């Protein structure tokens, strides 16, 4: 890391902590690019993070996630809270180009100083989106935003990783699941702390809510938290105040419930440790993968593979030697 980049990053971090909101967009760009300025800036502000309620909002495309986020922003603003929003730009061929619509629907929020909205573009790189999103959430947190809403399409590993980085996960569904209720992605209900049937102005919302409650009841042992199933109509605002209330209730429940499995602290602390663990493991993997993709140093990887293929070394021995080599190569002092 060059000294100049490091100094620039630290300076941006300090301005952010001092409340200069214009710095946020700049530092975010550096963090998204994963450059040295962003890294130093994040290092500077990280100790001041951990206060904001991170809320993942996930569900299929078109379920009304963006509309719902826009509506719930209004409730938080009425409570005097400053809201950060990270929207995963669904510009991938998978989800189509809903981006512009998202921007238009949220456009009335851009003039509000107490709201910060950023779209993050999908990237080709494995895990890149999740890393950039979580790092961006840290910056919003440092800037004093609480809550930080993270909208993702409920599919794909990145999205699951992002949801796993939230304190509370809202799973958005729409009426009309009917007999197809089993088509709800396995696992999506398990990650939901709150289930929302949006578009409740349409027929069948009550039935869908009932079906979801039944599915939840099937899965229970004695759980400390049973996800509430809420009905909303994001376009009319029905149920949105209740959704915001339920999010605060979930946060308090995490804070007042002891951690499970004899762990120390509260369920909130446990979740924070889980989030940190996921982040560290992901970065460990990516760091090693990048080193591998570069071929290690001086062809060590190719040589190790040749050794394994020709039976001179087992894969276990080769992998262990490579990890030792990677640790030496990655050591900035080494
Ligand atoms: N009838 C109805 N339409 C809605 C509701 N919420 C969102 N929509 C519409 O559903 C479409 C998709 O909404 P959007 O928020 O972009 O969904 P996202 O892809 O999940 O973010 C838009 O045309 C919205 O106007 C709702 O509660 N009721
Ligand atoms: Mg959307």
Cα 314 to averaged position of ligand 2 atoms, centre (Å): 49
Cα 316 to averaged position of ligand 1 atoms, centre (Å): 51
Q: Which helix (H) or strand (E) holds 229?
A: strand 229-231
Cα 231 to averaged position of ligand 1 atoms, centre (Å): 14
Does 159 score more than 80 pLDDT? no
Does 283 score more than 90 pLDDT? no
Hey, which residues does 196 pair with through a beta bridge?
172, 230
Each residue's pLDDT tens digit, 195-234: 999 999 999 999 999 989 988 887 766 678 899 999 999 9
Distance (Å, whole) CA 28 – CA 38: 7
Selection from 75, 106, 100 nearest residue 242 by Cα: 75
Q: Which helix (H) or strand (E) holds 76?
A: helix 65-78
Cα 149 to averaged position of ligand 2 atoms, centre (Å): 12
- Per-residue pLDDT at 68: 95
Confidence of residue 163 (pLDDT cuts 50, 70, 90): confident
Distance, first Cα to last Cα, the chain: 14
The mean per-residue pLDDT over the stretch 268-281 comes to: 92
The CATH class given to the 50-262 domain equals: alpha beta
Distance (Å, whole) CA 285 – CA 20: 34
Query: 45-59, 159-173, 202-216, 224-238 — which is least confidently predicted?
Result: 159-173
How many CA within 13 A on the CB side of residue 204? 11
Nearest-CA residue for ligand 1 atom 3 is 199
Pocket of ligand 1 (CB under 6 A): 61-67, 98, 101-102, 198-199, 201-202, 233-235
Q: What Cα–Cα distance (Å) separates residue 69 from each residue in 62, 109, 117, 241, 329?
A: 13, 11, 11, 12, 44
Domain spans, the chain? 1-48, 50-262
Atom of ligand 1 nearest to the CA of 59: 20
Q: Where are the alpha helices (DSSP H) in 110-156?
A: 128-142
Grouping H, G, I as helix, E, B as strand and the rest as coil, residue 98 is coil
Among 234, 237, 242, residue to substitute to test ligand 1 (most atoms within 8 Å of Cβ): 234
- Per-residue pLDDT at 94: 44
Of how many residues is the chain composed?
A: 334
């Amino acid at each position: 890391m060059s000294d100049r980049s490091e100094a620039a990053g630290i300076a941006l971090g300090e301005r952010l902590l001092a409340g200069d909101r214009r710095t946020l967009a700049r530092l975010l760009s550096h963090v998204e690019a994963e450059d040295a300025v962003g890294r130093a800036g994040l290092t500077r502000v990280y100790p001041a993070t951990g206060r904001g309620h991170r809320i993942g909002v996930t569900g299929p495309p078109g379920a009304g996630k963006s509309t719902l986020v826009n509506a719930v922003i209004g409730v938080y603003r009425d409570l005097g809270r400053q809201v950060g929003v990270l929207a995963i730009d669904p510009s991938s061929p998978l989800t189509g180009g809903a981006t512009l619509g998202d921007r238009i629907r949220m456009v009335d929020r851009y003039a509000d100083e107490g709201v910060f909205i950023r779209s993050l573009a999908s990237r080709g790189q494995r895990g890149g989106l999740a890393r950039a999103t979580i790092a961006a959430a840290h910056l919003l947190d440092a800037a004093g935003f609480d809550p930080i809403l993270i909208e993702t399409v409920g599919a794909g590993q990145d999205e699951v990783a992002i949801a796993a980085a939230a304190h509370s996960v809202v799973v958005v569904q729409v009426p009309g699941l009917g007999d197809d209720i089993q088509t709800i992605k396995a696992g999506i209900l398990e990650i939901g702390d709150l289930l929302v049937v949006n578009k409740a102005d349409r027929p069948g919302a009550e039935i869908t809510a009932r079906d979801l409650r039944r599915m939840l009841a099937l899965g229970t042992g004695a759980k400390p938290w049973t996800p509430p199933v809420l009905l909303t109509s994001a376009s009319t605002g029905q149920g949105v105040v209740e959704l915001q209330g339920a999010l605060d209730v979930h946060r308090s429940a995490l804070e007042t419930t002891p951690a499970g499995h004899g762990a120390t602290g509260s369920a909130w602390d446990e979740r924070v440790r889980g989030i940190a663990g996921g982040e560290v493991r992901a970065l460990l993997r990516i760091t090693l993968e990048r080193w591998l993709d570069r071929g290690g140093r001086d062809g060590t990887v190719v040589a190790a593979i040749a050794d394994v293929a020709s039976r001179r070394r087992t894969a276990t021995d080769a992998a262990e030697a490579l990890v030792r080599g990677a640790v030496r190569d990655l050591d900035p002092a080494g």
